[in-house]
Amino acid sequence: MKKTSKSLHSRLIRHLREWHRKLGIIAAFFIIFLSVSGVALNHTTTLSLAHQPISSTWLLDHYGIASPNDVRFYQQGILQVTNNLLWLDSKVLLESDSDIIATTFISSAQNSSAKIILTITSNQVYLSNQQGDLIDKLGAEVGVPQNISAVSVDKNNVIVKATAGYFQASTDFFNWQKVNFAIEPNWIDPNKASAKDKANAELAYRSQFLTLERIILDAHSGRVLGLFGVLFMDAVAILLILLSLSGVYIWIRYARAKR
């Protein structure tokens, strides 16, 4: 009876070692992945993971990140508008609180040779330098007309069309004088752009909402594949626990056998 029990126990240990070895090889891949992704997440600032946008259309579609509804180009494409974002040379210059009506370059009031970027939304005026720094943001508190629908710039004379009529801005944009026109001014219109340029602008807009940090974090937890991915990573965790327990058990039996 004792011999039979010992024989069964030996077979159990033999099968346990065999499955431990096979599952251990499979688990090794997940251990390496979890370790590498964990180290990356611990050094996300050093690796600038949060500042590396994802441009894979498959991943963007998978995350449900939609294309912008509004895509426009100004100043031969140097300035781009996607929804409420203004881009300068493929970098986000500003995010407006309301719809962007138009944007263009104008001469600085202090230095006529220097150019600044004028961006007018339905309710605000933004002034930025060409390095991407915001100089000023003006709104109703300084008299900026509200519900602007069109903008005209002629030799730095800025005129807007609002619900209350036409208004001309002073050089510092702190004073707005109501004016009348027999013929409407030439309003700023966006430049024509190719389908490729529009596609690139749409991709740049979508990419900013998904970074490498988010992908690594979701892959580490399994959320990149939704509920299935989370459950799968839970199963991997259980597998690693079982491997650890079986390994400890095998080691204990081996240590006792050597005594």
CB 191, CB 73: distance < 8 Å: yes
Q: What is the pLDDT of residue 198?
A: 94
Tokens 């939304």 locate to 121
Amino acid (1-letter code) at residue 247: G
**10-residue block means of pLDDT along the chain (259 residues)?**
55 66 74 83 86 90 92 93 91 90 85 82 93 90 93 89 93 90 90 93 93 89 78 79 74 65
Q: What is the pLDDT of residue 221?
A: 81
Quickly count helices (H) and strands (E) in the chain: 5, 12
Amino acid (1-letter code) at residue 94: L
CB 50, CB 211: distance < 8 Å: yes
Amino acid (1-letter code) at residue 122: S
Could you tell me which of 172, 93, 105 has the C-alpha nearest to residue 132? 93
* Distant-in-sequence, close-in-space partners of 158: CB < 8 Å, separation ≥ 6: 106, 118, 120, 151, 152, 168, 169, 173
Count of CA atoms in the C-beta half-sphere (13 A) of 215: 18
Q: In what order do the strands lie in the sheet with 71-74?
A: 71-74, 79-82, 85-88, 91-95
CB 86, CB 190: distance < 8 Å: no
CB 90, CB 132: distance < 8 Å: no
pTM > 0.75: no
The Cα 177–Cα 159 span in angstroms is 9
Q: What is the pLDDT of residue 42?
A: 87
Its sign, for the CA torsion 141, 146, 149, 150, is negative
CB 113, CB 120: distance < 8 Å: no
Could you tell me which of 159, 69, 179 has the C-alpha nearest to residue 118? 159
Q: What is the pLDDT of residue 6?
A: 53
- Residue 195: phi and psi, rounded to 5, are -60, -35
Q: Mind listing the pLDDT tens digit for each residue in 44-98?
A: 888 888 889 999 999 999 899 999 999 999 998 899 999 999 999 888 999 998 8
CB 204, CB 90: distance < 8 Å: yes
> Three-class SS of residue 234?
helix
